[in-house]
């Protein structure tokens, strides 16, 4: 009975370790695909929202229009070198009448939670350069209380909810402002947080651990037969 239980436990552990290794490999392949798309699509620039393809992610844009400062959105819990802060989003109306949501970058949070940072404003017609990116989907530790009014702090950028809140026809993606845009704030957003090589390295670690467990199990079983 003890021997059978040990074998079953070992098989379960090995199964979990191998699955973790395979998952890391699949994540690495996803990152390779994303890196290739960033390189290829990042070389193409579109000058209007209407000209973007059906899948617009990672293409560069250069748009003329105006920011709407009356509906500022602050993405909460954004750290920069350990300092808490926000990513500032403004709706942007292009000269062709299309609305997009723009991440201008990082702002430090005031000392007290009930205070909000002083927000920059950019009036009049401006030129926006940036990259089309997916909306942020961060883990939410608890159900955050919905804030009313503006500026508004949010735990995630959910375009449909924000479209309803602002009354603006926002697309289901956002624009990350280019670091060299004159109106860009501090930039700490990354399209690829962890490269594919790290995922593959983690996969090797899981497989080596599975091999070690298998070796130890074989040694114990062989020893127990004597």
Average pLDDT of the residues in 99-125: 91
Which of the two residues, 92 and 216, has the higher pLDDT score? 92
Instruction: Report the DSSP beta bridge partners of residue 177.
Output: 130
Instruction: Report the DSSP beta bridge partners of residue 143.
Output: none
pLDDT, position 34 = 67
Residue 56: C-alpha distances to residues 71, 177, 200 (Å): 24, 15, 28
Q: What is the pTM of this model?
A: 0.71
pLDDT, position 142 = 53
67-108 per-position pLDDT tens digit: 999 999 999 989 888 899 999 999 999 998 999 999 999 999
Residues 6 or more apart whose CB falls under 8 angstroms from that of 219 comprise none
pLDDT, position 141 = 54
pLDDT band at residue 226 using 50, 70 and 90 as cut-offs: low
């Amino acid at each position: 009975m003890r021997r059978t239980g040990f074998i079953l436990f070992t098989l379960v552990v090995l199964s979990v370790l191998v699955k973790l290794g395979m998952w890391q490999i699949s994540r690495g392949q996803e990152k390779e695909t994303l890196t290739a798309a960033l390189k290829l699509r990042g070389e193409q620039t579109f000058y209007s929202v209407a000209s973007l393809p059906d899948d617009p992610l990672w293409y560069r844009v250069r748009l003329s229009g105006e920011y709407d400062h009356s509906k500022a959105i602050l993405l909460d819990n954004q750290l920069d070198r350990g300092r808490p802060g926000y990513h500032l989003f403004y709706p942007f109306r292009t000269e062709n009448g299309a609305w997009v949501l723009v991440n201008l970058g990082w702002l430090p949070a005031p000392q007290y939670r009930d205070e909000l940072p002083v927000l920059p404003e950019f009036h009049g017609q401006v030129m926006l350069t940036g990259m089309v990116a997916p909306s942020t989907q961060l883990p939410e530790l608890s159900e955050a209380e919905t804030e009313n009014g503006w500026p508004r702090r949010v735990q995630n950028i959910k375009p449909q909810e924000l479209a309803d809140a602002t009354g603006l026809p926002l697309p289901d993606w956002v624009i990350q402002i280019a670091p060299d845009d004159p109106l860009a704030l501090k930039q700490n957003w990354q399209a690829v947080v962890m490269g594919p090589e790290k995922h593959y390295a983690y996969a090797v670690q899981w497989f080596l651990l599975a091999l070690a467990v298998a070796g130890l199990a074989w040694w114990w079983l062989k020893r127990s037969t004597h």
